[in-house]
Structure 1
């Protein structure tokens, strides 16, 4: 019985070291080194090559290296009999809350204006808003969405939330379903996307949705690049309906040099760093699921395949 680590473009050594420290004696292979595919029953991955796992006849579990699982579920050749798990980690959760708070504060205080003006040696003051007078809407009220909502509430923002199904969250004015989406958006001066990526949420950040936001609304996307219709965002910023955007995720990563987002004065770019998985922080839960698989026990943080998260 062996574990396979698959993470093209990432250095796997920290994962291998953390796994062996956590679970001495675990036999770990790193793709694409030579190995016996029939030995592998458990895989740990981020952005695996499409169709790879159909070559592993005894594979039982695919564990995501992060909170997202769309990179796994989007593989049309995924074996039918495997279970998929995700990471739920306090460090990731706290980091996401800190990042979104920083982007919200950057926007209401206009700090990005001063960065640009410094480059031009231009002395100009901008009016700012206070948290108490700012409405923030969060799309997606899962673990990360709840953590972000709590962080914003503790910093005196008025917090609204929307989810596919009804959720009861402390200190959040909650909406759910398509019928309540417009009312939610009308109360979102800053819109934060933390939705899982599914067939229903792909391209959800589009012109029709933006049109329901208050004039001057600001977009923060820390979910997935595929949520956003890029040309709709630029059009709505350029016509003045949206004031700008902070984007941490993109359809193609790294963002190509020729992409127009790089040069847009009202779009702030970060390279998918809102919250980064630290192997030493999460291998304990992965190793526990490895043991649960061996003992034929229910897995923790298991993905509901029909929902996509």
Structure 2
């Protein structure tokens, strides 16, 4: 009997994903019906993005799993009407894109590239940057994205410390956890990268107190989630020089309002949420693998811990 797969996302994504999901389902040997509409009590799987507008899962009485197109699941993880397994998107295309963006901006800070690009003032200042092994980089968050980025930086010989809520073991990376671990990690963080999930426990991870722990002039890179940073505290730390510069890709309100002080601040680089995107070709493969697993009675991958929110 074919499985019924409901695609619930922005309408403009349907013509992108429909042929890709169809191809992958056929390759996997799954008998299926794929559509944007079904009788609610006949749906087996939902390919989901919050932009599709689906909020009440109660009528989907035959539902086996919800498969998110987004890596971030904070908009659905707390939905009380969702009682079946929820899988987040862990897309190797997205992961590679994030790693490339993070490495690029770490190298930009490490090599002092902004000065040479922006300041052509005729003054010959012979300042040579240290080697990567002399530069301390802190990766806040050691999920799939954080681990990949941390290991890529370690492969370039950066001195990388990673921090996570619970203990992790990442080859080539000094791993710390817990409150004391966070303080230790930040105390040496010349460059800090934020790749934590957005949960009540991670909101304002970087704030006035934690900024004060960092070396004076430290750099911040946030491609994770806007609420990870206390914006007022960051602006204050930038104005005092405690934080030397911040590159921010994500914000509490997006698009970032045109009158937000980040736009005009000389020590902030705003990028418009481009650090990484789900790649439809590889995302379709991830979605279909979980459908194949579900139909074969195998464990689903990338399941969300609903209590933790990620």
The verdict on how the C-alpha distance between 1:29 and 1:252 changes in structure 2, with shifts beyond 3 A counting, is farther
1:1-309 to structure 2, matched below 5 A, reads 1-8=3-10, 11-24=13-26, 26-30=32-36, 35-48=38-51, 49=53, 51-74=55-78, 76-79=79-82, 81-117=83-119, 122-123=121-122, 127=127, 129-130=129-130, 131-309=132-310
User: TM-score if structure 2 supplies the norm length?
Assistant: 0.88
The verdict on how the C-alpha distance between 1:260 and 1:45 changes in structure 2, with shifts beyond 3 A counting, is farther
CA distance in 2 between counterparts of 1:305 and 1:18 reads 29
Kindly state the Cα deviation for residue 10 of structure 1 after the two structures are TM-superposed: 5.7
Q: Larger relative CO (CA 8 A, sep 6+): 1 or 2?
A: 2
Aligned partners of 1:64 and 1:84 also within 8 Å: yes
CA distance in 2 between counterparts of 1:265 and 1:202 reads 25
Aligned partners of 2:45 and 2:64 also within 8 Å: yes
Aligned partners of 2:6 and 2:38 also within 8 Å: no
Aligned partners of 1:50 and 1:77 also within 8 Å: no
3-state SS of paired residue (1:272): coil
3-state SS of paired residue (2:57): helix
3-state SS of paired residue (1:298): coil
> Unaligned 5+ residue runs, structure 1?
none
User: TM-score if structure 1 supplies the norm length?
Assistant: 0.88
> Unaligned 5+ residue runs, structure 2?
none
Deviations 1:193-246 (A, max 9, x none): 111222211221211111111111111111111212211111110111100111
